[in-house]
Amino acid sequence: MKNLNYLRKKLPLTVELRSDHVLIIDQTKLPGKLKFLKLKKYPDAISAIKEMQVRGAQAIGAVGAGGIFLAGYSYKKNNASDFYKYLQKIAKEIIKARPTAVNLAWGVKTILADLEITSVLKMKAEIKHRYKNILEQEVGHNLKIGEYGNTLIKSGMTILTHCNAGSLSAIWFGTATAPIFQALMKGKNIKVRLDETRPWLQGSRLTAWEMERTGIDYTINIDSAVGYLMSHGLVDMVIVGADHIASNGDTANKIGTYPLALMAHEWKIPFYVAAVSATIDFSIKTGALIKIEERSGDEILRDIRYKYQPVSPQGAKSFNPIFDITPHKLITGIITEYGISKSDALNLIKGRV
């Protein structure tokens, strides 16, 4: 039977702290090549986030916090107060890299929270200690999500997921994939269907890469095939990740999640969101207050090819929001490290976050 050691051999850490740098998987090279990228300066971390070399809520939160570590590591002056002001300035710069995923701000703020202004040397040591703890704790949270989510999965089920909320979106093990990996280790016979997830194709490039390496039976479908699959009884459960969850349970996730939830509701298929509690933003009441990131239209018109040719005429216009908001009423439950909560009852875990 497959176990954690097996998965550790198959799935390397997405974000890893080394003595003087942060090591990440360059996700733009997958699935063709597994390439690791050294982040040595804080601008490297910002660039990796903006250029999608690292993506996924937990992973960019980890790299954002890593940017603070790198900024601190390379700081040469000795005044502790100036050092703290410098880190606060860098923190604001890092947080601007991606506006929707709340984990980015969470990671940066957590590593600096109540940092005592002592000496530059001691502050650097404390930042490194905190960063190491963040990485370890987040993996532990994912394992807990897997344990709770696994209780929902029965042998013989087919689970559909959207985008990549797998190990690559986290430090390791993932959120939406955590119940799947846990079911694998329990010996359950399951199948996974993957939305290809345009325009970056995170499902067909990244989640498929994870399924292939871990030996899970998977099938890729185009995003618009989901209605067909559900209406023909080919999906038993949906598990997706999240980039930002409002206090009422409204959830921002990769574009296409909302219509997926609507179809699951129509066909009475359970629809779960899996996310660490850091993804829940108790400062906002509804998803209407979540800022939705829009990216370059070239991702739609130029970067995708049809038989090596652009998919659209040269003068075509495009609209490229990369997240949408799924209303809480369409979500069966939200799986966190604290258990499975009704989407409109997240206040019950607020005091534990």
Query: For position 305, what pLDDT does the model report?
Result: 77
Residue 348 has pLDDT above 90, yes or no: no
Query: For position 130, what pLDDT does the model report?
Result: 98
- What is the arithmetic mean of pLDDT over 303-307? 78
pTM score, two decimals?
0.96
Q: Which one-letter amino acid corresponds to residue 272?
A: Y
Query: For position 195, what pLDDT does the model report?
Result: 98
| Intervals of CATH 1.20.120.420 along the chain | 4-142
pLDDT digits (tens, 9 = 90+) for 3-21: 999 999 999 999 999 999 9
Spell out a b/e string for 260-275, using b for 16 or more CB atoms within 10 Å of the CB, else e. Answer: bbbbbeeeebebbbbb
pLDDT band for 304, please (50, 70, 90 cuts).
confident
Q: Domain 4-142, what fold?
A: Four Helix Bundle (Hemerythrin (Met), subunit A) (1.20.120)
CATH of region 144-352: 3.40.50.10470
Query: For position 306, what pLDDT does the model report?
Result: 75
Query: For position 162, what pLDDT does the model report?
Result: 98
The active-site residue out of 195, 236, 243, 250 is 243
Query: For position 308, what pLDDT does the model report?
Result: 78
Residue 132 has pLDDT above 90, yes or no: yes
pLDDT band for 311, please (50, 70, 90 cuts).
confident
Residue 255 has pLDDT above 70, yes or no: yes
Residue 306 phi, psi dihedral angles, 5° rounding: -115, 110
What is d(CA 165, CA 278) in angstroms, rounded to the nearest whole number? 15
pLDDT digits (tens, 9 = 90+) for 142-151: 999 999 999 9
Using alpha carbons, select from 206, 152, 202, 203 the residue that is nearest to residue 180. 152
Q: Quote the radius of gyration of the chain (alpha carbons, Å).
A: 20
First to last CA, the chain: 34
Residue 351 has pLDDT above 80, yes or no: no
What is the side-by-side strand order in the sheet with 280-281?
A: 280-281, 244-246, 251-254, 323-326
Q: Which one-letter amino acid corresponds to residue 275?
A: A
Cis before 31 (ω within 30): yes
Reply yes or no on whether 243 is catalytic.
yes
| Intervals of CATH 3.40.50.10470 along the chain | 144-352
Strand partners, 38: 23
What is d(CA 95, CA 18) in angstroms, rounded to the nearest whole number? 22
pLDDT band for 287, please (50, 70, 90 cuts).
very high
Average of per-residue pLDDT values in the chain: 96
Query: For position 353, what pLDDT does the model report?
Result: 64
> Do 179 and 239 touch, CB atoms closer than 8 A?
yes
* Residue entry with tokens 């850490």: 13
What is d(CA 35, CA 190) in angstroms, rounded to the nearest whole number? 30
Residue 36 has pLDDT above 70, yes or no: yes
pLDDT digits (tens, 9 = 90+) for 199-239: 999 999 999 999 999 999 999 999 999 999 999 999 999 99
- Give the up-direction half-sphere exposure of residue 269: CA atoms within 13 A in the CB hemisphere: 25
Give the three-state DSSP class for 310. Answer: strand
Helix, strand, coil percent content, the chain, rounded in steps of 5: 45, 15, 40
- What is the arithmetic mean of pLDDT over 174-183? 98
Query: For position 302, what pLDDT does the model report?
Result: 81
pLDDT digits (tens, 9 = 90+) for 67-105: 999 999 999 999 999 999 999 999 999 999 998 989 999
What is d(CA 14, CA 23) in angstroms, rounded to the nearest whole number? 8
What is d(CA 278, CA 113) in angstroms, rounded to the nearest whole number? 14
Q: Which one-letter amino acid corresponds to residue 300?
A: I
